[in-house]
Amino acid sequence: MHLTWFDANSWLFELGQQRVLVDPWLIGPLVFGNLPWFFIGKRPKQHAIPDNIDLILLSQGLPDHAHPPTLAQFDRSIPVVASASAAKVVKKLGYTQVTTLVPEQTHVFADRLEIRALPGALLGPQQRENGYLLKQLDSNTTLYYEPHGFYPSSLHRYAPVDVAINPIITLQLPLLGPIIQGNQKALDLAQLLQPKTWLPTASGGTVIYEGLLAKALQMVGTIPEFRAGLIQKQLQTQVIEPIPGERVVLQM
């Protein structure tokens, strides 16, 4: 298994023979609602667009997960598996092979990779986004991905997993609470899933965030604190801090 992080929530999973691009934001700025004064993310250095992509996997329809300028760079015939809101984004861009999954639905891709959607972040009263459990069918290797740290209590049914990609650091707004859950929630998830390896997502890296929302966000927790918490819970999970753009090789 090979994993490459491109900052924020963007990943390339190489699982067996499949190259899966996850929640890609690779070019241009990240802006919510065309309001750069409210929130904008900038990359000091653009990442190269990965080639030979077999599948695009989208957990949410917001632009930090389904970034239209990035998605516009790819062949529209590449298969996409997506949450309901993300499926609308790629269909509007002209993608022709779109599979929409709601929580607890599964999709088998190329007879080699099972993708199970699980409940993820709740972004509105009727908008539950996706986390994913991916399984290589030839080896039964499993990877759990959820970029906001929101997971269902039923997740224990799929434990243990080989790899978890989830936030470690909490990002929260005063009075409103966390929009990304790490910190203690990450430790609870580690105890629930007992992954062999954990890679943090959503924070760190080289992206520069500006605007009113970025200034209001508060960070809680650190990676050293997370590692210490794992030791206290007597968990053997290895924490790997990925470097943006560098390929991580995992021996399963």
Q: What is the pLDDT of residues 70-126, one digit of tens each?
A: 999 999 999 999 999 999 999 999 999 999 999 999 999 999 999 999 999 887 667
Nearest one of 63, 72, 76, 88 to 9, comparing CA atoms: 63
Across the strands, what pairs with 56? 21, 80
| Amino acid in position 31 | V
Q: How many domains, the chain?
A: 1
Specify if 251 maps to a domain.
no
Angle between helices 183-193 and 223-232 (to 10 degrees): 40
Nearest one of 110, 137, 132 to 121, comparing CA atoms: 132
Instruction: Report helix, strand or coil for 31.
Output: strand
* pLDDT at residue 205, rounded to an integer: 81
* pLDDT at residue 125, rounded to an integer: 67
Is pLDDT above 90 for 128? no
Domain holding 105, by residue range, is 2-244
Specify if 252 maps to a domain.
no
- Residue-averaged pLDDT of the chain: 93
Specify if 182 maps to a domain.
yes
Specify if 250 maps to a domain.
no
Specify if 249 maps to a domain.
no
**Higher pLDDT among residues 128 and 136, named by residue:** 136
d(CA 146, CA 133): 9
Retrieve residue 138's tokens: 């030839």
* pLDDT at residue 204, rounded to an integer: 74
**Higher pLDDT among residues 228 and 178, named by residue:** 228
* pLDDT at residue 186, rounded to an integer: 96
Composition of the chain by helix, strand, coil, percent to 5: 20, 35, 50
* pLDDT at residue 35, rounded to an integer: 85
The pLDDT-based confidence of 19 (bands split at 50, 70, 90) is very high
Is pLDDT above 90 for 140? yes
**131-139: average pLDDT:** 96
**Cβ neighbours of residue 111 under 8 Å, at least 6 residues apart?**
137
Specify if 214 maps to a domain.
yes
In whole angstroms, what separates CA 172 from the centre of its chain?
Answer: 18
**238-248: average pLDDT:** 95
For residue 60, the domain's CATH number is 3.60.15.10
Instruction: Report helix, strand or coil for 228.
Output: helix
